[in-house]
Structure 1
Amino acid sequence: MKRREIAAGIGAATLLAGTAMAQDASPPPMIGAITEVPGIRVGHFTETRRPTGCTVILAEEGAVAGADVRGAAPGTRETDLLDPSNLVEKVHAVLLSGGSAFGLDAATGVMRWLEEKGIGFAAGPARVPIVPAAVLFDLAVGDHRIRPDAAAGFAACEAASADAPAEGSVGAGTGATVGKLYGMARAMKGGIGTASVRVGAITVGAIVAVNAVGDVIDPRTGKVLAGARDAEGRRPFGTTEAVLRGELPPPMQAGMATTIGVVATDAVLTKAQCRRLAGAGHDGLARSIDPIHTMSDGDTIFALATGKSGLPGNMMALGAIVPHVMAAAVQRAVRAAKAVGGSPPGMSELD
């Protein structure tokens, strides 16, 4: 296996800012946003009292959905409902949130917003909005008692738009960090990123909140874009290479990280096909985050198919496209991330 190159020669100030380091690397090939997929809108809520927030991906007309949970410490809601053998075919939104398990409360606000619009699954006298959700751990950044709640989820819906959403330190990516295997003091900022591509008559998009134990790498060059830094905090040193050299990390508490996201397409898909598409999204994580799916991550990917193109999805083609789009979204997340107040040592704002 070819050893990854490590980005070098970057000034300490850039590292301390917690931003992506391979500034000379060419940009990811995927451009656009998940909102390029017809039928998808995105809204952020960013908490001002500490670095945290939530992001809602709305599919108000309903979208066939699937999910794939790979991390060992997930925090999720309504993922069992998405099993292909279960009743409900479509969801109306997906929520990505900070705040660890507390952040699942924000999905209640999304449900309330959809209910007020008369959107939901017909169940007797009521319409029940279907809102799967996943959370990431950002409680180590700032006051852990402040986390997204139902009001935050409602506010994210109010802010939703078909325009390209903001990236970096916003919404569910506000308190995200990466490269935590050797402790938060040597970590860097993560964030939220999005990308899309149109192939023929089909559009594929992704959005992801990157809060990984591992390093974010450019899969084309192997360079570390953001991740664990050396003991002096001056440069990245490559987490996996350090472990292979015998530099074993200290024990980590489970659930201290997690990367969560959504892939979407306007192709017509079944629930089973959406589940496979979510799995392909994890392939994109594996290409751009190293290590991935650790015992301290709860990595979860949802897949949405709006069917707006009216065309059946070619699963071989979609399976090839989705990992590239997801990997591009991961890279964009850390490239757009900014240091924020309350960040861990080594990630403070520049004077």
Structure 2
Amino acid sequence: MEPQLLSAWAGHWTGDGTGVTVIIPPPGTVGSGEVRGGAPATREFALLDPSRLVDRVDAVVLSGGSAFGLSAADGVMRLLHSRGLGFPTPLGPVPIVVGMSIFDASVAGTPPSSAAGHAAALAALRGDLFSVGTVGAGAGAVTGRWRGGASPGGLGMARGVSGDASVVVVAVVNAWGDVIGPDGLPVFNPDSSGDAVVTPFGMTNTTIAVVLTDAKVTKADCYLLAQSGHTGFARALNPAHSRFDGDAVVALATGAADADLDLLRVVVADVTAAAIRSAVTPPDAAGAQRAD
């Protein structure tokens, strides 16, 4: 699998049941995002609002460790700053680093640190092989907790095209609900009763995703692309966007190809659903082509 995602780079740091995944797009990449889950752990999301001044994103950091894991973004920020990357200010560049975290077992142990984020960013910039599954931010992910048990989760990736524009989605799937296949059925068989059981402490879940396209779109358009990513969540997770999830999507656009925004949104929804499924299923069962 190539480490390059369109013109961006991605890398992992994988620890004991937790990890960090960093995506570094080219300078000047436009971005926005949206949270729909009830229990998010995020960094710099207010800046992603289309009404805010800054429209660029220099890196997106996906991590385990819930709110503790957001510190991984500090290491990425320092590395980018050392290379002169970031939003220009009178006192020098300020890297715009967006963070999203899932809840995993490292909350009770050693969550990802700034050093882990730095290591993942270095892996991205080196062009290390980018793998999927229980690696990086997906190392401690599980799904199906709403049934009182747990099924496998992980990190997935899928891609698609819309006219001359390409789309790649990276998703970390740690959902309260089940992963749903293209046939509308759970990928993993539920317990024999098939009844959902709300666990005593349900707020240990989240699915997070990064939509990356080379389309020429605005920050406000990226916000719409993030919304379409959430449409993909609703197709591939049941239930999605619960009070117990921190579901969030960031959409990035590098601006190299012409695209019809509405047709692009259709592709983003499809590819996001496929990326979620690919985190836990073979490529031929995920519903779209994996990025390989």
TM-score (norm 2): 0.91
Relative distance call for 1:127 and 1:324 in structure 2 (3 A) is same
Give yes or no for the alignment of 1:204 onto 2:167: yes
Bigger Rg, structure 1 or 2: 1
Structure 2 SS opposite 1:42 = strand
Q: Look up the match of 1:4.
A: none
Q: Look up the match of 1:9.
A: none
Relative distance call for 1:170 and 1:204 in structure 2 (3 A) is same
Deviation of residue 217 (structure 1)?
1.1
**One-letter amino acid of the counterpart of residue 131, structure 1:** V
* Partner deviation per Cα, 1:181-227 (whole Å, 9 max, x = no partner): 133xx2112000001113331101100000000000113x1232136
Q: What is the Cα-based RMSD across aligned positions, in Å?
A: 2.1
Q: Distance in 1 between matches of 2:120 and 2:220?
A: 29
Q: Distance in 2 between matches of 1:118 and 1:182?
A: 48
Q: Look up the match of 1:40.
A: 8
Please point out which of 169, 181, 185 is paired with 2:134: 169
Structure 1 SS opposite 2:110 = coil
Give yes or no for the alignment of 1:190 onto 2:153: yes
Unaligned runs of 5+ in 2: 283-292
Instruction: Indicate the larger mover: 249-258 or 153-162.
Output: 249-258
Relative distance call for 1:130 and 1:88 in structure 2 (3 A) is same
Structure 2 SS opposite 1:54 = strand
Please point out which of 247, 270, 279 is paired with 2:218: 270
Please point out which of 221, 239, 246 is paired with 1:298: 246
Q: Look up the match of 1:321.
A: 267
Give yes or no for the alignment of 1:223 onto 2:185: yes
Q: Look up the match of 1:335.
A: 281
Q: Look up the match of 2:143.
A: 178
**One-letter amino acid of the counterpart of residue 184, structure 2:** G
* Partner deviation per Cα, 1:107-147 (whole Å, 9 max, x = no partner): 001101101111011111221000011111002xx672211
Q: Distance in 2 between matches of 1:89 and 1:201?
A: 23
Q: Distance in 1 between matches of 2:279 and 2:69?
A: 20
Q: Distance in 1 between matches of 2:162 and 2:262?
A: 13
Pick 1 or 2: higher relative contact order, CA cutoff 8 A, min separation 6: 1
Relative distance call for 1:275 and 1:103 in structure 2 (3 A) is same
Deviation of residue 62 (structure 1)?
2.7
Unaligned runs of 5+ in 1: 1-31, 232-236, 244-248, 337-351
Q: Distance in 2 between matches of 1:73 and 1:143?
A: 15
Deviation of residue 33 (structure 1)?
7.9
Q: Look up the match of 1:213.
A: 176
Deviation of residue 163 (structure 1)?
7.2
**One-letter amino acid of the counterpart of residue 84, structure 1:** P
Deviation of residue 34 (structure 1)?
9.1
Deviation of residue 255 (structure 1)?
2.8
* Partner deviation per Cα, 1:239-288 (whole Å, 9 max, x = no partner): xxx24xxxxx2444253100001001101111110001000001111100
Relative distance call for 1:283 and 1:43 in structure 2 (3 A) is same
Q: Distance in 2 between matches of 1:223 and 1:250?
A: 20
Give yes or no for the alignment of 1:160 onto 2:124: yes
Structure 1 SS opposite 2:84 = coil
Contact 1:252/1:296, CA 8 A, preserved across alignment: no
**One-letter amino acid of the counterpart of residue 208, structure 1:** A
Aligned positions of 1:210-289 closer than 5 A: 210-219=173-182, 221-226=183-188, 229-230=190-191, 238=194, 242-243=195-196, 249-289=197-237
Structure 2 SS opposite 1:90 = coil
Count of aligned pairs: 282
